[in-house]
A and B are shown apart, each in its own frame.
Chain A
């Protein structure tokens, strides 16, 4: 499969009053054509910074790229000028943000907010762009689009606003859509509609999606592959069914155990992950999950595990993959 996006060893830090925060610490992943990749993890694990990094929308300073590359269709975005990035943003790569209530300009008509990108990237006349934005609103199932384009965001409900956001992001038919927690701020019923809409549009228009979320239910529903992030690193990557059926990293297992399922017994309790993620002002030398891991070993404290590369699709970063650990565990009668 040809990759639309390849992120290689990306490192992003923030300079703050207290020192440097290493928000993203060398992550590598790829997104194929028409593929949906989910990035999951707790809040503050670097998901949104990654997204902002790809779009180059991080406030710089305090943010800066420490290393790595972001290859989009084989071209490194980090080497592009701001002007070139403007030609890519909203055109080839678009983004849908978390909170539809604050993501639209409150004093500008909806239609104009959609038209803006079209006029810039597609060199459309105003009339053509307006016609196109009516079509886009129709596509995202906003009723009465001709009337709605002349209204302001506050006249829309949350779900409708997110539809508008999607229409706005899709207007120029991008190759890659980054959806940063697109349904977190919405009601559950509306969530399903929005996800359904995104799936439908993906089939129709054939784009790739990076879906950033902490909701594993959405992941199972939407994505082809899953990237599990923790403390600015990727701990596990795999096809969605692999991740759900046989999670390799203790963190992924804990994450899955903390989601309620219908087939659970009443006696079975939900598991919470005790503790808090490490402070990224001074990231740990060893495995970042060490402090909260119930299967932690002595080696984990000071030594960073590498990726286990035995499977092409499913990899994790954990010392438990080490043959010696597996031997010892079977000796101790401890299953994984």
Chain B
């Protein structure tokens, strides 16, 4: 047995207890939400999405006031004017300023998307919660109904409602749009919430908590909410672009927001007419904004899902 140094006998004395650190926790234990946030921050794409949403959100209020035009003011001497230093995004066929109209469009599209997602969330939590805490019979009836509602094709319902509640050639009111957009799409949320509530009632970890003397409120706070909030958050984030997309499609087939208000979809729809006569900017500018919003929410939702997935924790 060799050692590359002089061994003095003292070295073979018993080691002092303080010298050992068997119980030292070597890495700080990572708490859930800060860790989720840390992993989200590492995801450059998701952060780009988040940043983009913030910018679009702020600009949808600031941008409408930047160049001094209003969204409804018509100027017949300046119709279909291409983007220049006065009208930064050009004007439409009625001479309205497209820069201002586009930012209004962003505002309405975001508003519609967020409201629709919020209503989904609200109904979903209510319906799923009731189904979950009610007895098995009521629960199964409620879930059957939800399944039927969900298998009704989404866009068809939206179109039908819009047709009924709007006058021909006029488009729909904001309320009708949001209402129709959230009519069937709350179901996944409800199923999610119901599943989690059932877990609250039966799961082993809440049972374990309970046997350790925790009360229901504690369990709700410590186990159920953290476990449910993640999937719900992802669901809401991905519901927003879905609603915005559906609204844009509606706008494009002539059922969008009532004039003179404009959503990005209705802007694109009227821009389509400008395409054959060389005014392609009227279509492509709103198109780019729709795509940006869709992109931002989709990558953020994906990033959130990855960040929340405990299996991906490193």
Contact = CB atoms under 8 A, between A and B. Distances in A.
Interface stretch (A1-9, A188-196, A320-328): A320-328
A307 to B, nearest CB: 8
Interface size bracket, A side: 20 to 34
- From B2, B10, B12, B23, name the one whose CB has the most chain A CB atoms within 10 angstroms: B12
Contacts of A33: none
- From A18, A276, A299, A300, name the one whose CB has the most chain B CB atoms within 10 angstroms: A299
Interface stretch (B13-21, B153-161, B232-240, B300-308): B13-21
B31 interface: no
A-B CB proximity, top 3 nearest? A275-B22, A299-B11, A279-B26
Contacts, number: 68
Interface string A276-315: 1011011000000011100111111101011011000000
A334 to B, nearest CB: 8
A319 interface: yes
Given A291-B20, A321-B1, A279 B11 contact: no
B30 to A, nearest CB: 11
A46 B150 CA distance: 50
Interface residues of B, number: 20
Nearest to A307: B1
Interface of A: 16-18, 274-276, 278-279, 281-282, 290-292, 295-301, 303, 305-306, 308-309, 319, 321-325, 328-329
Given A303-B5, A324-B9, 8 more contacts: A17-B314, A274-B23, A276-B23, A292-B22, A297-B15, A298-B14, A298-B19, A323-B1
B7 A324 contact: yes
B14 A297 contact: yes
Interface string B69-80: 000000000000
Nearest to B23: A275
Contacts of A329: 12
Nearest to A292: B22
Contact of A296 (B14, B27, B314): B14
B12 A298 contact: yes
B66 interface: no
Contacts of A16: 314
Nearest to A303: B3
B22 A291 contact: yes
A301 B19 contact: yes
Contacts of B5: 303
Nearest to A273: B22
Contacts of A306: 1-3
A297 B3 contact: no
Nearest to B39: A17
A276 B15 contact: no
Interface string B279-314: 000000000000000000000000000000000001
A65 B269 CA distance: 60
Contacts of A17: 314
A299 B22 contact: no
A308 B3 CA distance: 12
Contacts of A325: 12
Contacts of B15: 290, 296-298, 300-301
B20 A299 contact: no
B7 A322 contact: yes
Contacts of A282: 26
A282 B5 CA distance: 23
Nearest to B3: A303
